[in-house]
Amino acid sequence: MKADAEIDHYSRGFYAWQFPVAKFFAWLLMFALGRIKTIGKSNIPRSGGLLILMNHRSDCDPVAAQVACPRPVRFMGKSELFEMKGVRKVLIWLKCFPVKRGEPDKSAIKHAVDLLKAGECVGVFPEGQLTETGQLQELKPGIALIVRMSGVPVICCGLRNTDGVVPYGSMVPRPSLKRVVAQWGEPKSFDRKAETEEILGWVETELRRLSGALP
């Protein structure tokens, strides 16, 4: 398929040693600062396209989610991060991709769909921004479009207490008084004709249940 040929896949070297080494240091960081615990990791499909949806409490959420996932995750990140030189280099090395906030970014949605169809694991924060209160915010409808267009399984990961490691409004990590938890739900596949309300309703219910967010 043409889309597959256009995807910048991870190299063999990345799978063989770069990813394991990077993940080990990320695990050390999260264990030291938040004593991270993973629940339900066996629910994660080990191959094929997979869309991961997470709640967004802290700037360290991608690190916590990757530590909790056995597969390399291609994160969709806010475009502002790619304008920061040091951060940009790391994001490009990890093959993350930017999304413009505040507007429907068709290019980012298409890239996410192409990655998923090529068998990659893509991570998205459907709230579109950090929550200041810790409560789940309104989900962006573009998530439903990615689900329908890609046709791959969707799995939710609820993150708890990551804001204790990097609080809202800060980018400086610190030891958390509470243990960081990443809890995985069960993967689910949707029909390509599924309504937006059906998809977003399921995602919201899952994220509230897994992250402990109140209704």
The predicted-structure confidence for 171-210, as pLDDT tens digits, reads as follows: 899 999 999 999 999 999 999 999 999 999 999 999 999 9
- What is the predicted pLDDT for the residue at 164? 96
For residue 128, give the DSSP letter: S
Sequence-distant (6+) residues with CB within 8 A of 83 are none
Binned at pLDDT 50, 70 and 90, residue 8 comes out as: confident
Average pLDDT over residues 120-144: 95
The pLDDT value recorded for residue 5 is: 40
To the question of domain 2-211 being in CATH 3.40.1130.10, the answer is yes
Six-digit token string for 15: 């799978």
- Residue 4: its pLDDT value, please? 41
Rounded distance, CA 173 to CA 15, Å? 27
Q: What is the pTM of this model?
A: 0.92
